[in-house]
Structure 1
Amino acid sequence: MTTTQLDTASLPPSPRWAIRAAHAAALVTLPSGIWRLMLAAGFTAGYTEAGYDAMGFTGWGAVYVVGLTVGGELLALLTLGLVRPWGEVLPRWIPFVGGRRPNPRAVTAVASLAAGALTLILTQFAFWWAFPHPDMTPFGSTVAGILYLPLVAWGPLLAAVTIAHHRRRRAAGL
């Protein structure tokens, strides 16, 4: 048995609440992502025709919106690595680092910084209705606000899972 296998075998299991929080963190990006994909597909999704045209959701704008959506979801899915075995020892198919155990301090530091940044950046969506978007219909603005509201929870959920990950690693002496 290798050192990496011994290290991960000695880890206590992730708390059930942390596993649920990690899954929730991966899911909170879906509603806004689906809305953005609708925009990229040509639906005005709450924008006025003039507002939709002005936002430039066609051509490269659509590529950007799809990339933003896919990238955001992939980043959200990384939260699962804090509670799953593939986050303890990286899968072998990952070039250069596959089969290795990531540095626990680096993982905790990056996840903590990401949680703080997400909280700062995404908290604004809690106040969506205080600043109506001039290029959206009132109904469209309400729907978009509802779809973006779950993003407010992403940062705090990641922070909670990061704390659980850190405590679990510390309890195992890693």
Structure 2
Amino acid sequence: MIFLSVLSELLAFTALGLIAAWGEVFPRWTPVLRGRRVSLSAAMIPAAAGAIILTVLWTTLAVQVASGATLQGNPLPSDFPTTALHGWRLGLFLATYAPLPLWGPLLGLLAIAYWRRRRIPALPTPVPEYPTA
């Protein structure tokens, strides 16, 4: 369980590379790759795969809970998720887990913004024309 928690945190941290400078050029402390550009596919393939997986995972779970049945069609317990949660614990549970279905689509939007920033060349800066006297 600890390994999976650490792994998921490390994978989530890589999403910061889509907005940070080290997502475009490997930092100096990277032994072999320092100073080289991060290839577009090396960033986009994991980001797109993560966005798809997270969207499917959390959307399926949200639909399952909203419908009151498991994927096999068995009904959820009548007091789900309040079996051990009530009061402030239930509020904390809902506040922390309710946004999870947004994680995949937001990662997808972040990946698209990264792709557009890296793929579309910068527009040249127009030179202002000054009237001659």
Q: What TM-score results when the alignment is normalised by the length of structure 2? A: 0.65
Give the 5 Å matches for 1:74-153.
74-127=10-63, 128=65, 130=68, 131-132=76-77, 133=80, 136-139=83-86, 143-153=92-102
2:54 touches 2:104 (CA, 8 Å); kept in 1? yes
Residue type matched to 2:3 in 1? G
Pair member with larger Rg:
2
1:115 touches 1:159 (CA, 8 Å); kept in 2? yes
Q: Which runs of 5+ in 1 are unaligned?
A: 1-63
Q: Which has the higher helix share?
A: 1
Q: How many correspondences in the alignment?
A: 109
Q: Distance in 2 between matches of 1:135 and 1:67?
A: 28
For residue 134 of structure 1, report the CA deviation from its aligned partner: 7.8
1:88 touches 1:102 (CA, 8 Å); kept in 2? yes
Give the 5 Å matches for 1:7-18.
none
Residue type matched to 2:50 in 1? A
For residue 143 of structure 1, report the CA deviation from its aligned partner: 4.4
RMSD: 2.7
For residue 145 of structure 1, report the CA deviation from its aligned partner: 4.1
Q: Distance in 1 between matches of 2:121 and 2:27?
A: 22
Is 2:104 the partner of 1:155? yes
Q: Distance in 1 between matches of 2:96 and 2:60?
A: 13
Q: Which runs of 5+ in 2 are unaligned?
A: 69-75, 123-133
Aligned residue for 1:56?
none
Q: Which has the higher contact order (CA 8 A, sep 6+)?
A: 1
Percent identity reads 39
Q: Distance in 2 between matches of 1:125 and 1:144?
A: 15
Return the match for 1:168 from 111, 117, 122.
Answer: 117
Residue type matched to 1:163 in 2? I
Q: Distance in 2 between matches of 1:124 and 1:141?
A: 21
Q: Distance in 1 between matches of 2:55 and 2:90?
A: 22
Q: Distance in 2 between matches of 1:117 and 1:156?
A: 10
